[in-house]
Structure 1
Amino acid sequence: MLHACFNFGIKGDYDPTRITEKRFYIQHNPVTATKKNTKASQPGNRVLSHEEVRLFWNNIDNTHRVGFVMACAIRFMLATAGQRPKQLLRATWEDYDFQRNCVTLIDRKGRQGTAKIHVVPLTGRAMAILRAVREVSASYPWPFCSGVKGRSGANKGELLPLTLESLKNGFIRYNKALAERASAEGKPAPEPFTARDIRRTVKNLMIDAGINREQRNLLQSHAQNGVDVKHYDRHEHLPEKRESIRRYDALLDKILKGEEITLVNMDTYRQQKELSFS
């Protein structure tokens, strides 16, 4: 953070387009030589089991102080294959196409990042959630809006969609409920998880469903590499995304119904293929 602050000051001093007379007079960035603490920024690796996913889906709406709209938003994250929650919460009713059953999200990296259009196909499960939440939020600009207005800052008094902070609190309250239940049963509390872990969990479920890496990245709007992607590949990839989310939803359906799921052991599969050709 300090490194970024000093860089901001240096660039501001020598930016010919600046409109303010304020100067920082910074000659160099003193934090440049400071080594980054990699241990403090290790990526998470929490992945929910199938049973945890089922319990989460079935019980999030019964969690204390998690409202109906919030529960719908959390389930919608799962139903749409782990889309980024910030983009889902900010999407308005106008971003939804109920003829093609899809939603257009704006994918932007960083404050000055170039906006990228990300079209997500919606399954019957996702459409059912939208129909349910429409009973509450049809008169608001956003599906996932509880009618609460901003209480402070620049948005004070303005109607807002659900915020990431509210979403975070929803996960905290669900984890707390799990911990209290485990304590009452004399069991250790399960490892807590966040919205980011849901996205990672969905990625693993798509692997279980046999969706290849390219299609997984398309569906979750990860950066695509290559000259052809940058210059020529600008269509929405809707057919591929529809097939991927169909396969993912079929697996999710079995998980939510508590059905036994047998996954292919790839090492065993490869050995059998080798024997069949020998």
Structure 2
Amino acid sequence: MTPRDMATIIRRVREAGKERTAGVLLSYLRAAYAMAIRAPYDSAANATMATFAVEMNPVDAIPTIPVRAGHRTLSAAELRNYLTALSDELPDLALRLAVLAGGQRMSQLLRTRVADYNEDTQTLRLWDTKGKRREPREHLIPLAPKGAALVARLIERAQQKVEQAGSSASDRPRPPSLSLWVSTGGATMAETTPGKRLVEITAAMKTEPFNLRDIRRTIETMLASMGISRETRAQLLSHGLSGVQSVHYDRHSYINEKRAALQAWEAHLASIKAIS
């Protein structure tokens, strides 16, 4: 593979109108080749990568595709209509939980398992792999009543789905390792499914299209308007936390601040009649 070959691959995706996807693909390819190059010398790298004998990174010559800042936010009426449109199907439950949990990233939310929920404290544990972290960051979400009730419902639903799948007791996942997002037949729901469902909802709403990032942006914007501090919002949405202060020195959990923010958030959703 030459730089020209790589450029052709990236260009096809970008010319198809998928600029963000092209940027992600470029980043993944660059990282894969970089890992293969250092694999023979890095004891932490997968030994299989060393067998490719890669000596140069054909992606290095391709300029990084900058991420365009998004500006779309939903109005209170749009957010209300969006939540009203959600059904009791699994993709819709994922979309609803993302909102009740304060705008969490869908990719992280869909990795949660039964063991990641503490029923006593009503706290959901996510693992944040964003940025240049060597290890995922534990991200705790102390849910308010509506969010906690939804997670409890998901746990019960997942256990029922596994039983309905008819697998033998020895083949079934043990409850702690069971995904919260068990779909038909006992499989785990694909990460892309909620996003596809969101496209259907926005089309039916006949409004300016929006995506999962726009919903996350909307929630933070509304939290800011409610007086939730920038620091608490950063902790709740788990962004901007890779600096020296956060990584090495600030060991405060912010659990109480996050819980108060989510309780206020559910009250706000009720006030705009987005939830009952």
> Normalising to structure 2: TM-score of the pair?
0.72
CA root-mean-square deviation? 2.8
CA distance in 2, matches of 1:125, 1:68: 17
Match of 1:85 among 106, 110, 127: 106
Higher mean alpha-carbon deviation, 123-132 vs 6-15, is at 6-15
Read off the aligned partner of 1:53 and give its amino acid letter.
L
The equivalent residue for 2:11 is: none
What letter corresponds to residue 247 of structure 2 in structure 1? K
Q: Deviations over 1:100-150 (max 9, x none)?
A: 11111111236973121111111111123234444532345233322345x
The letter of the residue matching 1:208 is: S
Matched, 1:98 2:119: yes
The structure whose Rg is larger is 1
- Could you tell me the percent identity over the aligned residues? 30
Of residues 130-139 and 44-53 in structure 1, the stretch that sits farther from structure 2 once superposed is: 130-139
How far the C-alpha of 1:33 sits from its partner, in A, is: 4.8
Aligned counterpart, 1:36: 64
For residue 176 of structure 1, what is the aligned residue in structure 2?
203
The structural deviation recorded for 1:15 is 4.6
Structure 2 residue aligned with 1:213: 230
Q: Which runs of 5+ in 2 are unaligned?
A: 1-25, 163-177
Equivalent residues in 2 for 1:18-37, closer than 5 Å: 19-20=47-48, 22-24=51-53, 26=55, 28-29=56-57, 31-37=59-65
SS at match of 2:233: helix
- Aligned residues between the structures: 230
The within-5 A match list for 1:1-278 is 1=26, 3-4=30-31, 6-12=33-39, 15=42, 19-20=47-48, 22-24=51-53, 26=55, 28-29=56-57, 31-38=59-66, 41-61=67-87, 68-109=89-130, 113-139=134-160, 140=162, 141-148=178-185, 159-160=187-188, 162-178=189-205, 189-224=206-241, 227-256=244-273
Kindly tell me: are residues 6 and 214 of structure 1, through their superposed partners in 2, closer, same or farther at Cα, counting changes over 3 Å?
Answer: same
What are the superposed Cα offsets for residues 150-188 of structure 1, whole Å, 9 maximum, x if unpaired?
A: xxxxxxxxx32x22211122112212323xxxxxxxxxx
Aligned residue identity for 2:181:
F
The 10-residue stretch of structure 1 (102-111 or 210-219) with the greater mean CA deviation from structure 2: 102-111
The letter for the 2-side match of 1:129 is L
Mind listing any 5+ residue stretches in structure 1 that lack a counterpart?
62-66, 150-158, 179-188, 259-278
Is this contact kept in 2: 1:12–1:23, CA < 8 A? no
